[in-house]
A = this chain, B = another copy of it.
Amino acid sequence: MTYCCGILVRDGLVMIADTRTNAGLDNVSTFRKLHVFEKKGRHAFSIASAGNLSVTQNVLHLVHTGLENPITKKSERLEDMTDMFAAAQLIGRAVNKVEKNYAEAFEQANLKFEICFLFGGQIKGAGPRLFMIYAAGNFIECTPDAPFLQIGEHKYGKPILDRAVNYDTDLYDALKIGLISMDSTIKSNLGVGLPIDIAITRSGALEYETKHRIDASDTYFRDLRERWSAALRSAHMGIPRPQYGEEK
């Protein structure tokens, strides 16, 4: 299982991903799912992936080594793209190509082609954007009305994002809320676990100002988990008990 979320606020982009992969409960491992590609002053990309690891790694390989553009017939690489939308299209085409390569074999092996990507970042000349790319290569873009996108095990961590994040949220408050969302997911699904990778790029800065791996010894994240638990406890204890019994 996997949980990744991207939060796009006015100040910039936050990307968060766990690292746990499992093929059955007895085959659990740690793989990076958040990949950061930057060329300072030109672009700052990040890709988070969920689903079959062989497929997502194949897609990443293709977008780096190059893929033919069906119109220009020229080979394109992610690092050559000059706008984020075209870059999302490139990733979509890479997904389609990998799907075509393996469709028959996957069907024979009774495997489903289930993958999903978050693609975020910025290229010189425009602010940060965030996309979610589906298994069919199609994609949607994040907008200020709902300034986050999630992939993988997204439900446990959605309520806090729904309530607490808006487009004007401070960049590091967005990271904090994203980490609370990750904490709720880790607590409810064993398939999502530490370490957590985070990456933050500020609007207009063509680089990542934060790239960090949070592991079990991380003091801030441990403190956040304890504070959040204690706050939830006092939050529900502060609400009076229902009196419905007396209205019978």
Decide yes or no: A172 and B220 within 8 Å by CB, A162-B187, A235-B235 being known contacts. no
Quick one: closest B residue to A243, CB to CB? B220
Q: Are the CB atoms of B210 and A248 closer together than 8 Å? A: yes
Query: Is A228 an interface position by the 8 A CB rule?
Result: yes
Decide yes or no: A160 and B220 within 8 Å by CB, A242-B179, A248-B209 being known contacts. no
- What chain B residues lie within 8 Å of A24 (beta carbons)? none
Point out the residue from B159, B209, B211, B231 that lies within 8 Å of A235, measured CB to CB. Answer: B231
Point out the residue from B158, B210, B227 that lies within 8 Å of A188, measured CB to CB. Answer: B158
- What chain B residues lie within 8 Å of A209 (beta carbons)? 245, 248
Decide yes or no: A224 and B212 within 8 Å by CB, A158-B156, A233-B163 being known contacts. no
Quick one: closest B residue to A226, CB to CB? B239
Query: Is A177 an interface position by the 8 A CB rule?
Result: yes
Digitize A204-237: 1 where CB-to-B-CB distance is under 8 Å, 0 elsewhere.
Answer: 0000011110000000100110011101111110
* Number of copies of this protein chain within its complex: 2
Query: Is A145 an interface position by the 8 A CB rule?
Result: no
Query: Is A104 an interface position by the 8 A CB rule?
Result: no
Point out the residue from B172, B244, B248 that lies within 8 Å of A241, measured CB to CB. Answer: B172
Query: Is A198 an interface position by the 8 A CB rule?
Result: yes
Q: Would you give the shortest CB distance from A241 to chain B, in whole angstroms?
A: 4
Query: Is A5 an interface position by the 8 A CB rule?
Result: no
Query: Is A61 an interface position by the 8 A CB rule?
Result: no
Which of A155, A160, A210 counts the most B-chain CB atoms under 10 A from its CB?
Answer: A155
Cα-based distance from A155 to B232 in the complex (angstroms): 17
Query: Is A164 an interface position by the 8 A CB rule?
Result: yes
Q: Are the CB atoms of B244 and A198 closer together than 8 Å? A: yes
Which of A170, A210, A243 counts the most B-chain CB atoms under 10 A from its CB?
Answer: A210
Cα-based distance from A188 to B150 in the complex (angstroms): 13
Query: Is A130 an interface position by the 8 A CB rule?
Result: no
Digitize A176-197: 1 where CB-to-B-CB distance is under 8 Å, 0 elsewhere.
Answer: 1101100010011000000000
Sample of 9 more A-B contacts, CB < 8 Å, known A159-B187, A175-B244, A198-B244:
A160-B236, A162-B188, A163-B187, A172-B245, A175-B242, A210-B245, A212-B244, A220-B244, A231-B239
Considering the complex of A and B, which 7 residue pairs feature the smallest CB-CB distances, nearest first? A231-B235, A155-B155, A172-B241, A159-B184, A212-B244, A210-B245, A227-B239
